[in-house]
């Protein structure tokens, strides 16, 4: 049986990790895989090549509304039909028996399967309509109806997803198949490589640095943890998903630079996790966090928020601790584990046993083989092809309309900013005019005072000059009288008179 897996990404997140697990665990002689990747390279492309699995580049564009990128919807609508046609040619050329779309955010695989009348399986990893970063082109209920209409089997990763699906649609045939983890556990890393001692309390976070993963609450959490467990250090491992800068600001604002090690993507993340004292998962929305399985498999105590699949993975108080999203509640749970080594050890051991018995790759692979076999027994009719063509047309029109609406919103925001700037300028201009008028009046008062002072000074100088002149005249008269008297005295002496 030939299986075409359509991947939305070449990254290393949960959906890609599950795909690699199935490529390894499902017998490739029985289920021959071909992986359609959106571009060459990346962690997924490199791993597929190393495994000896064939891949082909089939571009796709996520069918979501990204408010940060108004041009995204244009790219989706512009050549959707060409992307679907390209995949359809691959399906026909490779004689594919079953098409699998390994995400809820792309539709090219489903539409190509409908066009070629091949069975289609949709593997859904995302909580669309709940995750604020994943807003589908249409409302979630309509989107799930599209998924159901274009699929012969819908597989979701957790009960939370099935509950969400059924709440929106009333009822639906959705199968829960939880992800699993391989038995191999890497040895713990050496803490000295991080400049940390064996006695340093250490918390680990592994995941995309995004709002969805809740990474921005870590500074607030650690600040409170350090009040009860001084010296605690937090390792942060993962690629930046848009919240890295805010995380750094939070660290600096609380003066916690020495308490954090932000390491970026680390291929040895599991080894570093294994040497930590507690793993924290503060996600806001998370359908099935692999990190939870990895922490438990390493016998590490886990503190996770009730954000979706974590509530199904963790048995509160037995295999880990579940909390709400409030940072104080998360901090208290982390502190309680750090303060109580016996509790930490018990949670870690029971968590490890739970993963080994209930959440294995082998169990997931067995369920996946049954799903593929069930799908292969169906033969979509011409109605599926017609529905696919209609849905493609509708999605293109919706994308164009939402693109226009997004651009109008962006333009309105620009207009509003300009209006605000003009209003600010007018206010500044009025204030500046008032200040200039005040300066003019002050200048006139100063000029009058200077003129008055000049006039007074001139009068005083003139009076002084007259005084001096009068003083000179008086001295001249005195001098003349004295000279006259001296001359008269000499005359009398000379004449004897």
DSSP 277-346: SEEEE--SSBSS-HHHHHHHHTT--EEEESSBTHHHH--BTTTBEEE-S-HHHHHHHHHHHHH-HHHHHH
Q: What is the pLDDT, as a whole number, of residue 326?
A: 93
H or E segment to which residue 239 belongs: none
pLDDT in tens, the chain (497 residues): 999 999 999 988 889 999 999 999 999 999 999 999 999 988 899 999 999 999 999 999 988 877 667 788 888 888 999 999 999 999 999 999 999 999 988 999 999 999 999 999 999 998 877 777 777 778 888 888 888 888 889 999 988 888 888 887 765 578 999 999 887 788 888 888 888 888 899 999 998 898 889 999 999 999 999 999 999 999 999 888 888 999 999 999 999 999 999 998 888 888 999 999 999 999 988 888 888 999 999 999 999 999 888 888 899 999 999 999 899 999 999 999 999 999 999 999 999 999 988 889 999 999 999 999 999 888 776 667 777 777 877 787 777 777 677 767 766 777 778 778 787 777 888 888 888 888 888 888 888 888 887 788 778 777 776 776 666 566 676 677 777 677 666 666 767 65
Q: What is the torsion angle, in degrees rounded to the nearest 10, for the CA atoms of residue 474, residue 477, residue 479 and residue 482? A: -130
Give the separation between CA 490 and CA 314, rounded to whole angstroms: 139
| Angle, alpha carbons 161-96-125 (nearest 5°) | 15
Helical (H) or strand (E) element with 363? helix 361-376
The sheet with strand 32-37 has its strands ordered as 54-57, 32-37, 2-6, 98-101, 120-124, 153-156, 175-176
Cβ pair 87, 392 in contact under 8 A:
no
For residue 481, how far is the Cα from the chain centroid? 109
CA distance 325 to 304: 9
CA–CA separation, 216 vs 239, rounded Å?
14
Site of tokens 């539709």:
107
Q: Which residue has the tokens 């962006």?
A: 410
What's the CA gap between 261 and 278, in Å, rounded? 15
Q: Domain 2-179+363-409 falls in which CATH fold?
A: Rossmann fold (3.40.50)
Same fold, 2-179+363-409 and 191-359: yes
Q: Quick check: helix, strand or coil at residue 204?
A: strand
Question: pLDDT at position 363, please?
Answer: 92
User: How confident is the model at residue 161, as a pLDDT?
Assistant: 84
Going from N- to C-terminal start, the domains of the chain cover 2-179+363-409, 191-359
Question: Cβ-count burial of 496 within 10 angstroms (0-12 exposed, 13-18 middle, 19+ buried)?
Answer: exposed
Backbone angles phi, psi at 108, to 5 degrees: -60, -40
Beta bridge partners of 136: 64
Report whether 327 contacts 280 (CB < 8 A). no
pTM of the model: 0.77
**Could you tell me which CATH number the domain at 191-359 has?**
3.40.50.2000
344 vs 336: CA distance, rounded Å: 9
Task: Give the pair of three-digit tokens for residue 417.
Answer: 């900013």
Structure tokens at 454: 């000049």
Indicate the SS3 state at residue 402: helix
208, HSE (Cβ side, Cα atoms, 13 Å)? 16
Q: Label the pairing between strands 98-101 and 120-124.
A: parallel
Residue count of the chain, please give it. Answer: 497
Cα separation of 267 and 429, whole Å? 58
pLDDT at 474: 64
Strand partners, 99: 4, 120
pLDDT score recorded for residue 48: 93
Say if strands 175-176 and 153-156 run parallel, antiparallel, or are unpaired.
Answer: parallel
Cα angle 283-72-386, degrees, rounded to a multiple of 5: 100
According to the model, what pLDDT value does residue 171 have?
Answer: 58
According to the model, what pLDDT value does residue 260 have?
93
d(CA 375, CA 378): 6
Structure tokens at 439: 């300066």
């Amino acid at each position: 049986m030939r299986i075409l897996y359509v991947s939305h990404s070449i990254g290393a997140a949960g959906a890609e990790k599950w795909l690699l697990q199935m490529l390894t665990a499902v017998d490739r002689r029985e289920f021959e895989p071909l992986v359609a990747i959106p571009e060459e390279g990346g962690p997924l492309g490199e791993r597929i090549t190393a495994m000896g699995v064939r891949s082909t580049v089939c571009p796709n564009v996520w069918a979501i509304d990204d408010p940060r990128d108004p041009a995204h919807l244009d790219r989706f609508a512009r050549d959707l039909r060409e992307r679907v046609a390209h995949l359809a040619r691959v399906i026909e050329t490779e004689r594919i028996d079953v098409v699998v779309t390994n995400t809820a955010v792309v539709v090219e695989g489903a539409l190509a399967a409908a066009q070629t009348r091949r069975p289609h399986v949709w593997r859904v990893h995302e909580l669309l309509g709940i995750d604020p970063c994943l807003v589908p082109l249409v409302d979630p209920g309509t989107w799930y109806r599209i998924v159901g209409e274009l699929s012969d089997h819908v597989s979701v990763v957790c009960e939370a997803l099935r509950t969400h699906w059924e709440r929106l649609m009333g009822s639906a045939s959705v199968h829960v198949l939880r992800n699993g983890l391989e038995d191999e556990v890497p040895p713990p890393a050496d803490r000295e490589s991080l400049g940390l001692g064996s006695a340093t309390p250490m918390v680990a976070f592994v995941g995309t640095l995004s709002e969805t993963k809740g990474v921005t609450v870590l500074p607030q959490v650690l600040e409170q943890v350090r009040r009860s467990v001084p010296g605690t250090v937090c390792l942060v491992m993962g690629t930046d998903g848009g919240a890295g800068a805010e995380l750094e600001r939070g660290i600096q604002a609380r003066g916690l630079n020495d308490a954090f090690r932000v390491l970026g993507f680390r291929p040895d993340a599991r080894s570093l996790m294994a040497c930590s004292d507690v793993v924290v998962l503060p996600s806001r929305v998370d359908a099935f966090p692999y990190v939870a399985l990895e922490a438990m498999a390493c016998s590490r105590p886990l503190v996770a928020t009730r954000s979706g699949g974590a509530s199904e993975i963790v048995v509160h108080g037995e295999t880990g601790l579940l909390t709400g999203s409030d940072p104080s509640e998360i901090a208290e749970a982390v502190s309680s584990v750090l303060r109580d080594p016996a509790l930490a050890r018990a949670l870690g051991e029971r968590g490890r046993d739970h993963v080994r018995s209930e959440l294995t790759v082998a169990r997931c692979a067995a369920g996946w083989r049954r799903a593929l076999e069930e799908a292969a027994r169906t033969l979509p009719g011409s109605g599926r092809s017609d529905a696919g063509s209609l849905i493609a047309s509708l999605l293109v029109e919706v994308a164009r309309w939402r693109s226009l609406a997004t651009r109008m919103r962006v333009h309105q925001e620009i207009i509003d900013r300009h209006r605000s700037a003009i209003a600010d300028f007018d206010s500044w201009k009025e204030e500046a005019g008032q200040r200039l008028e005040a300066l003019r009046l002050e200048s006139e008062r100063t000029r009058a005072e200077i003129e008055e002072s000049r006039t007074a000074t001139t009068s005083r100088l003139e009076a002084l000059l007259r005084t001096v002149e009068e003083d000179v005249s008086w001295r001249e008269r005195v001098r003349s009288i004295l000279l006259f008297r001296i001359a008269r005295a000499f005359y009398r002496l000379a004449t004897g008179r």
